[in-house]
Each structure stands twice: as C-alpha cells, then as structure tokens.
C-alpha cells in the first residue's frame, strides 16, 4: 500500500505571509496532483506534476515534484483569505489511475 504523508496538518497565518505544504512518501508515483477543497464541496484540481524535478506555477502558487517522484511541495506566496481551505495531495500509481490521498493540510489565512 502506497502512503502519502502531508505536513503540517494545520496552518494558520496572517494575510501576506508565505506558506509551504509538504507531501512525502517512500513510494514512487507516476504523477502527483494537488487539490483544494472547500467545506461541503468536492476537491478541485489545482495542478498535476509528472516529471521528476518539475516546477509549476499557478499565479501565487508554486508546485514542485521531487527528483525521485516521491515527494512534492506547494508554496503559496503572499497568502490571501481566499486561499483558506483544505489542501490535498494525491499520488497516482504507475499502473492504472487509482489515487492515494495524503491526510490533508487545513490552511487558514486571517485578514
């Protein structure tokens, strides 16, 4: 069974600060996805990273996939209250498209 560990579990910061969420595993994934989920809604895909060492930017969000494709990070610059939510990483197995989710990081950005 492939496991993904996310850290921290909870993060509370002031508007304008930066934050980083980590997703680590001892297993190799063919791809890794980051989602954001609002209460009472389904997860919304933010990005998919596929290549080891890949870096993707989405406005103030920067996603990195580790060289060995075992870990990933999400960095938010100058966080805003609208960034508040549950951030989930999910790794796809090499065979098939089954996803393994990390435990999630609850982010609260205070105005």
Binding interface with other proteins (CB under 8 A): 33, 35, 40-45, 48, 88, 90, 96-104, 106
Please report which helix (H) or strand (E) contains residue 96, including its range.
none
Contact 89, 20 (CB under 8 A): no
Contact 105, 87 (CB under 8 A): yes
* Residue 62 Cβ vs other proteins, minimum distance, rounded to whole Å: 20
> With respect to other proteins, which residue has the nearer C-beta, 75 or 106?
106
Q: Which backbone phi and psi does 81 adopt, to 5 degrees?
A: -55, -30
> With respect to other proteins, which residue has the nearer C-beta, 10 or 18?
10
> With respect to other proteins, which residue has the nearer C-beta, 99 or 109?
99
């Amino acid at each position: 069974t492939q496991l993904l560990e996310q850290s921290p579990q909870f993060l509370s910061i002031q508007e304008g600060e930066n934050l980083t969420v980590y997703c680590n595993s001892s297993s190799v994934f063919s791809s890794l996805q980051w989602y954001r989920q609002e209460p009472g809604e389904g997860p919304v895909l933010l990005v998919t990273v596929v290549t080891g060492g890949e870096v993707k930017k989405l406005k103030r969000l920067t996603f990195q996939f580790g060289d060995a494709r075992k870990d990933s990070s999400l960095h938010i610059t100058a966080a805003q209250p609208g960034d508040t939510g549950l951030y989930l990483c999910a790794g796809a197995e090499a065979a098939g498209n089954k996803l393994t989710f990390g435990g999630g990081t609850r982010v609260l950005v205070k105005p």
